[in-house]
Structure formats: C-alpha cells, structure tokens
Amino acid sequence: MHGTARIAVTSEEHNESVRRLDPLRLDEDLRLLPKMNETADVSALSRVLGEALPSEQSIAALTVPGCLAAMRDLGMYLGSLKRHGVSAFDTVPGAARVFELLGRRTHMIPRDTVYHYTCWNPVGERERLYTGHPMERALVDAVRRCVPDLAHAVEVGHSLRDLDLCHPAHAEKTALLASYITAADRAMGSVLGEVTPEFFALELRPYFEEVRLAGRTYLGPAAAHIPLFLIDLLLWASDRGSREYLDFCHEVASHTLPDWREWYAKWVETPSITSRVVAALGDRGSPAGTAHAESSADGLRKALRSLTAFRGKHLVMARRAYHAEVRLYELGSGGGSVGLLEEILTLTRDNGALIGSATGAKSGL
C-alpha cells in the first residue's frame, strides 16, 4: 500500500493495536448487540449506528489502526441490519459516505472483512459478536488463531516467486510454507468439534450477507476470504485451476488486504510451483539441482497434503450446513458453492498425486 501504513495480520502486536481501540466509544453498545439481534430491534440498531457515525474530520484524524477499529465496529451493525432485511446504506443517513471514507483510508473495501471480525476483534468481554453464542466465539477464535500463520505462508510464498527452483533456499522455504499451512487444518478441526453445521447455517450465516454500495456488491466477513486462495494460486491454481475457481479467487481478492491484492494480480499470471516443479523434475540437469528440486517437491507435497486435509474437513462442514433440509442459502458466505469446494478438493488431490508421480513417491493424498 502506497503512502500510508502497511496493513498486515502476521504481527500480533499490530493486531492487538487494533483490538484495544474503541475509537467510536461503542464498547458498551456492542455488548447489547446480541440482545438487539435476538429481538430483531431494527430501530435500535439503526439508531446506534446513526449516532456512532463519525464526521469526515474525525475520520481524517484517525490513525490507520483507528480506521480499522471503526470499520470493525460499524460493520457489526451493518451486518446485523442486513440480517434483519434492512440496508443501512439506504436507511441510515450518512452511513454510505462514512463506510466509503473508511475504506479509502485503509485501501480496503468499504465494509468490514473477515480480518476485522477475527484478527482485529478484541478477545474477552470486549469481543464483538452478533449472537453472543459460545459457538460464534469458538468460530471467531479458530479463524483468529490460524490467519497469522496463513499470512506468514503468503509472505514466504512471495519470497519464493522469483527464487530459482534449484536454489537450496527454495526447498527450505517450501518446507516452511508447508508448516504454516497446517494451521488451516487445525482450525477446521477445531470448528468441526465446537460449531454445529446447524448453528452456522441457521444462526450465524445470515449475518454475512452481501451489501450493495454505489452499484457494487460487497460480501460479508466470511472465513472463505482468509488467504488460502492466494496459497492455492501460488502452489497450483494459477495455471491448473478451473475457470470457476479462478473467478472465485478474483472476487475474494477484492475483499483482502492491500498488499495481497497486488500480489494476487501478479500470482494469477505466474506459473504455479507445481508446474515449475514438474518441469524441473522432467528436465534432469545437474545432480545438485535435481536434488534441490526433489526437496522442493517434498515440501510441496506436504503443503498439498495439509490443504487436502483442510479441504476435506471444510467439505464435511459445508455439506451439512448447506444440506437442503438445513440451509437458508444456496451459496456459502464467501460466495462459493458446495460443488466448487468438491472441485477444489479434487484438484488439490490431483496436483498432489502429480507431484508424487513426478518424484516417484507416494503422495499420501
């Protein structure tokens, strides 16, 4: 991001700097949000949002962390109103302008994202929740804990882009990336154990509805917007993904962090590590170069194995949450279908098997 502070989620210090802020003095009001939602008190939700809207001068005086915290808190009312069938941008005077200004200050979309709802959400009594249910708290916590590791994986991936596959550091970095990706599988295991599909589908999913502003649609703070799509692009999807998945990645990219949007634009046009590894193993050069390429392939297989484990758990949850007898919506909160998740899982497995075949090893996928 140019000309302003860099927004990242890898630093716990940075995340905490946003969590501790209450720039609009909404701590007390937000404690009452679950009750307002339980009673569908649209008038109270609209009143609190309207009274909390900062002036243009106040927004200009906020730091970037302050803008992130303000967007986090206002977004809770935006999502709550939409859950009850009301567009805050249409019914609360000045709301659209404030969300647009906060989006410009942070170089992000003009609404809250998964990062506002999880990484930058206070822990404990000040936690911002739509329902206040322990399952919602568990879901927020699971995502909050895994995103920094996935962000580190993205950072490592960025350093891999221009690194020769046969360089010793490539194998080391690929192994490091693979170790970070395991966080997604751990988080999904935690969610499966603590959050029922019925709670997500019927109670929580309605708060992640899309909103429209100035002719554009912006999705809610969905966990599908964590940076796994970037990791997929880097590892296999840029040139081995389906058209539907690449279209999904394009939509998700707009809802992510400024630096990552820039990286997405480059990565989607760059040969994937899978393609580069397969090409390197098929072109047996020096023994040392081949050994380094095989080591990179080993790290890649481990990364794909972790992604496959995560995708499998995610698919179990999604199938239950979006079963015809349970679901309120056809599509997930991130805009993808169960069919797309099945396709992504298949493609991840296929690419893992390809690497295993290229190295003469069993992929384990």
Query: Does 80 share its domain with 191?
Result: no
SS3 readout for 118-178: CCCCCCHHHCCCCCCCHHHHHHHHHHHHHHHHHHHHHHHHHHHCCCCCCCHHHHHHHHHHH
Q: Strand pairing partners for 216?
A: 213
Whether residue 294 has pLDDT greater than 90: no
Cα angle, residue 180 at apex, residues 175 and 181 outer, rounded to 5°: 95
3-state class (DSSP) for residue 341: helix
- On whether the CB atoms of residues 84 and 45 are closer than 8 A, the answer is yes
Query: Does 82 share its domain with 112?
Result: yes
CATH number at residue 121: 1.20.58.1320
- On whether the CB atoms of residues 117 and 89 are closer than 8 A, the answer is no
- On whether the CB atoms of residues 349 and 305 are closer than 8 A, the answer is no
The residue out of 99, 126, 153 marking a domain boundary is: 126
pLDDT on residue 316 = 86
Query: Does 83 share its domain with 183?
Result: no
CA dist., res. 171 & res. 194, Å (int):
36
CA dist., res. 315 & res. 345, Å (int):
8
Residue 132 lies in a domain: no
CA dist., res. 94 & res. 77, Å (int):
14
Q: Please provide the size of the chain in residues.
A: 365
Pick from 72, 90, 69, 71: which is nearest to 81 by CA?
90
Per-residue pLDDT tens digits for 26-65: 999 999 999 999 999 999 999 999 999 999 999 999 999 9
pLDDT on residue 273 = 93
| Rounded alpha-carbon distances, angstroms, from residue 53 to 20, 107, 126, 219, 306 | 19, 19, 20, 21, 43
Its pTM stands at: 0.91
Cα angle, residue 224 at apex, residues 218 and 229 outer, rounded to 5°: 105
CATH number at residue 255: 1.20.58.480
Q: With pLDDT > 90 as the criterion, what percentage of the chain qualifies? A: 73
Query: Does 72 share its domain with 16?
Result: yes
pLDDT on residue 282 = 77
Query: Does 149 share its domain with 58?
Result: no
The residue out of 126, 159, 175 marking a domain boundary is: 126
Tell me the mean pLDDT in the region 342-362.
84
Domain range for 80? 12-126
Cα angle, residue 77 at apex, residues 75 and 83 outer, rounded to 5°: 105
Pick from 306, 284, 303, 304: which is nearest to 293 by CA?
284
Query: Does 16 share its domain with 98?
Result: yes
Whether residue 309 has pLDDT greater than 70: yes
The tally of domains found in the chain comes to 2
Residue 69 lies in a domain: yes
Cα angle, residue 364 at apex, residues 312 and 168 outer, rounded to 5°: 110
Query: Does 172 share its domain with 278?
Result: yes
Residue 355 lies in a domain: yes
Residue 135 lies in a domain: no
Residue 197 lies in a domain: yes
Average pLDDT, the chain: 89
Residue 350 lies in a domain: yes
Q: How confident is the model at residue 103 (pLDDT cuts 50, 70, 90)?
A: very high
Query: Does 234 share its domain with 276?
Result: yes
* Distant-in-sequence, close-in-space partners of 57: CB < 8 Å, separation ≥ 6: none
Query: Does 106 share its domain with 161?
Result: no
